Structure 1
Amino acid sequence: MDVFLESGYREQYNNCYDESLKLFQCDYEEQYLHTTYGKTYVLQFGDRTKPPLVLLHGMTMSSVMWYPNVKAWTEHYAVYAIDIIGDIGKSMASEVILQKEEAVDWLKETVDQLGLKRFLLAGHSIGGYISLRFSLAYQDRVEKLALFAPAAAFHRLHWRFFYYSFPGLLFQTEKWVDRAFRSLSAEGLPFAPGYREFILAGYHHALPRLRLYPLRIEPEELVTLKVPVLLMIGELEVIYPAQQAIEYAKQYVPNIQCILVQGANHTFTIERADLVNERTLAFLLNN
């Protein structure tokens, strides 16, 4: 069930993963947690006595995508970055996740094993969708929720997302993977030296086992959400119309703060890291 078809490719990827952790420029601890759905890999940054902040990454980007954000956030929080089970990363699935209920159950098992009773939660893209679904199911567990361009959730996915993204997963060549990530970026390939190579290593001979397809969440569910929410979407978002998604969220989510990031696309958490770090902390720290 591993995303890598041969153990040799898994070893190469893990070595590349370990090397990329230098990008965080801060100390970390790592662990594997055994869940019903397989082994879940967790990175922990900062002082464990501080309030916990849980992070879920975007599809195929792994927890390494948070390298421009974590150092700023650990000034106030103990940060737990979780590799989503079944996606390209260090987590290793034993079951294929198809339904939202399974994704929520996997996350609950993971945070339970971490001993996190109540925590702050943030997610990007598919990680944002799972975070929102978890928050709807377990509102007593989530203190605040930060969403960065959550997949679907507030608008169905646009055809352009599939047009640019699927060839990268299908052909797995440098050309097609670069094409996919350029479509998600407002600045070409904005990644730090080493991260692009890490992404390419992830696509090489890998097949994601996460088969969860995110759908727009209906108004009757969203109106029940009592958790304070920060929603940030890039003005040039390719996976759906940014303004329409924001208007939908404003209409139905009771306690939400929305930010349209000017001149940004899907990977703005990396490209506009200073803004994301500042606005996220302002939201999380505001009582």
Structure 2
Amino acid sequence: MNDLVTPNIGAAYRRRRLGHFRDPSAYTRYREAYDRAMADLPRPAQTWDVETRFGTVRVYRFGAGDGVPLVLLPGRTASTPMWSSNLAGLAAHRPVYALDLLGEPGLSVQTRPLTSAADQAGWLADVLARLGHDRVHLLGVSIGGWTAFNLAVHAPDRIASVSLLDPANLFGRITWKAVVVSLGAFVPFFPESWRRRLLGWISGGADATGDLPVANLISAGMRDFTTFLPVPTYPTDDQVAGVGLPVLALIAGRSIIHNPRKAARRARRLLSRGAVELWPDASHAINGEFPDRVNARVLAFVDGTDAGSADEGLPR
């Protein structure tokens, strides 16, 4: 359980408004769950902590080759292991970087408060600048989708395309159901069995009660980590329409995060170069439910972008 960067642990970080583990025991529990979940992933070709103006960001590189890489941004409290169903398939086709979001549970370590959407874009722009690539493709799920698109709004220069898997608070506003999950799951000392039921609910009824490494990790992050992140800003119509990059948006028809049909309609109406698809059978856990289909769709999209023929003209 070696750390390249010292994690934030203890109440002193609360006063500084920085994400932190509640106490040493909380960190130990979380790190054991993290390492166990990471063991199910392909072995990273590289692991390092990238310095940004807001802290250090844990980055893993998978796969080989020198093509335009994919950068993966996970959902809330999930960190890199949430891509366990997708990584091998994606990395077989092009280089992949997976990040732990700054200020969230994971091995990234926050050193300055994040107070705005511009700050959220700032740390990610710093990471991309230090990866050594002129352009990258972004792939984000849930809040990771919001994070990817937020960067496209504020600092699009290094982005080749953006692929979004049921992004949160982007094309549709957060629903009361999602608020219930958020409030219930993050309350300290919330019964573990109830937390697992909430995870299952947000995942379309999936069983999250067993000994599943990713579910264990997400639950540990909810229980053992305190975040101080700004509420994700809902982008205006002008901000969405102003993103001129190729955007693939896969909206889960059974999502409780937003109204899926309204979200798809807004995306289709506003994205200038968007391919928008509503997947009726998918829940918010779309990447784990349909990993092969998601991988194939994303890879076809980024391949088309690299070839100069991004398929935004497909039926939407």
TM tier relative to shorter chain: over 0.9
Distance in 1 separating the partners of 2:48 and 2:158: 22
Distance in 2 separating the partners of 1:25 and 1:113: 23
Pick the aligned partner of 1:39 from 52, 56, 62.
Answer: 56
Q: Give the corresponding residue for 1:117.
A: 134
Pick the aligned partner of 1:284 from 299, 302, 309.
Answer: 302
> Alpha-carbon deviation of 1:76?
1.9
Q: Is the 8 A contact 2:22 2:225 kept in 1?
A: yes
After superposition, residues 1-287 of structure 1 pair within 5 angstroms as 1=13, 2-47=19-64, 49-171=66-188, 172-189=190-207, 193-209=212-228, 211-286=229-304, 287=307
> Alpha-carbon deviation of 1:200?
2.6
> Alpha-carbon deviation of 1:27?
3.9
Task: Give the alignment's TM-score, normalised by structure 1.
Answer: 0.93
Distance in 1 separating the partners of 2:29 and 2:45: 21
Q: Is the 8 A contact 1:31 1:42 kept in 2?
A: yes
> Alpha-carbon deviation of 1:22?
2.0
Partner deviation per Cα, 1:143-185 (whole Å, 9 max, x = no partner): 1110111111112111110112211110443123212211211
The verdict on how the C-alpha distance between 1:200 and 1:221 changes in structure 2, with shifts beyond 3 A counting, is: closer
Q: Is the 8 A contact 1:160 1:239 kept in 2?
A: yes
Q: Which moved more, 1:106-115 or 1:237-246?
A: 106-115
> Alpha-carbon deviation of 1:192?
8.2
Q: Which moved more, 1:187-196 or 1:5-14?
A: 187-196
Partner deviation per Cα, 1:191-233 (whole Å, 9 max, x = no partner): 9832222223223332123x22123311212222111110011
Q: Is the 8 A contact 2:78 2:214 kept in 1?
A: no
Distance in 2 separating the partners of 1:208 and 1:97: 10
Unaligned 5+ runs, structure 1: none
Task: Give the alignment's TM-score, normalised by structure 2.
Answer: 0.85
Q: Is the 8 A contact 1:173 1:204 kept in 2?
A: no
Q: Which moved more, 1:119-128 or 1:191-200?
A: 191-200
Find the structure with the greater CA-based Rg.
2
Secondary structure of the residue aligned to 1:24 is coil
> Alpha-carbon deviation of 1:48?
5.2
Distance in 2 separating the partners of 1:195 and 1:147: 20
Distance in 1 separating the partners of 2:268 and 2:79: 29
Q: Is the 8 A contact 1:164 1:179 kept in 2?
A: no
> Alpha-carbon deviation of 1:29?
2.3
Structure 1 stretches of 4+ moved >6 Å: none
Distance in 2 separating the partners of 1:241 and 1:124: 16
Q: Is the 8 A contact 1:185 1:264 kept in 2?
A: no
> Alpha-carbon deviation of 1:26?
4.2
Q: Is the 8 A contact 1:156 1:215 kept in 2?
A: no
RMSD: 1.8
Q: Which moved more, 1:233-242 or 1:212-221?
A: 212-221
> Alpha-carbon deviation of 1:96?
2.4
Q: Which moved more, 1:26-35 or 1:120-129?
A: 26-35
Number of equivalences: 286
Secondary structure of the residue aligned to 1:144 is strand
Unaligned 5+ runs, structure 2: 1-12, 14-18, 308-316
Distance in 1 separating the partners of 2:60 and 2:174: 30
